[in-house]
Amino acid sequence: SEPSENQKFCLQEVLDTFKLCLSDSKEVYLEHYVAGWRGLIKFLNCLGSVFGFISKDAVNKIQILVNYLNGENGPHYVTMQSMVKYELENDLVDLTKRGSHSESGCRTLLRLHRALRWLELFLERLRTSTEDSKTSNMCCEAYNESLAQHHPWVIRKAAGMAFCVLPGRAAFFEVMNVGTPEQVVAMLGEALPLISEVYQITEELYKEHNMLDLP
């Protein structure tokens, strides 16, 4: 269940949301995907205001998707698969250059999808890290292997500066509020395959429709 506002934040509950994302036929429910992101943003906000420019962009993208979900065409946005089909069939996606559909569900979700890869790489590093590992290094390496390839220089620069002020591993684990470092590692070990599966399914879907480079 969703953590309420006055309850203390716990990353486990957020990562559990990703369990709810997959239907029996391995379609991805947008509602739960977006809820997972909401929780991650909450976590990011707990880390400090320097991450504001990152969470602002993510919140903005989440809102775009929520508006589609709650809008008159909402039923088409129940799963990623139905969204892709609906937007493509109705020419609602700018495929090669930005035009009148610069805020399509497909291009918006693609940005979050790329960020999910960063999350996967970062959490895997955290999981296998040792006491003296630096969160900023792990974060930076994960970023360079994923999101950075899609970001212009200014954003890479700003992201790099934000990574430098990340709390150390011990403090970071505490904000996660899962328990001892051993419990954090165990939790990550359970959550990562779920995140990875959601990522892979989305990646395949976008690849299949030639949409991995949407402007």
Q: Compute CA distances 53 → 50, 134, 150, whole Å.
A: 7, 22, 17
Could you tell me the smallest distance in angstroms from the CB atom of residue 54 to ligand 1PZ?
4
Give the three-state DSSP class for 83: helix
Could you tell me the smallest distance in angstroms from the CB atom of residue 24 to ligand 1PZ?
28
> In terms of CB distance, is 72 or 152 closer to ligand 1PZ?
152
Q: Compute CA distances 35 → 92, 171, 212, whole Å.
A: 24, 25, 23
Asked if residues 139 and 122 have their Cβ atoms less than 8 Å apart, the reply is yes
Give the C-alpha separation, 9 to 136, whole Å. 22
> In terms of CB distance, is 27 or 177 closer to ligand 1PZ?
177
Q: Which residues bind ligand 1PZ (CB under 6 A)?
A: 40, 43-44, 47, 51, 53-54, 57-58, 111, 115, 118, 139, 143, 147, 155, 159, 166
Return the sign of the alpha-carbon dihedral for residues 183, 201, 56, 157: positive
> In terms of CB distance, is 2 or 53 closer to ligand 1PZ?
53
Give the C-alpha separation, 120 to 90, whole Å. 33
> In terms of CB distance, is 27 or 133 closer to ligand 1PZ?
133
Could you tell me the smallest distance in angstroms from the CB atom of residue 118 to ligand 1PZ?
6
The residue nearest ligand 1PZ at its CB is 57
Could you tell me the smallest distance in angstroms from the CB atom of residue 40 to ligand 1PZ?
4
Give the C-alpha separation, 123 to 51, whole Å. 18
> In terms of CB distance, is 86 or 143 closer to ligand 1PZ?
143
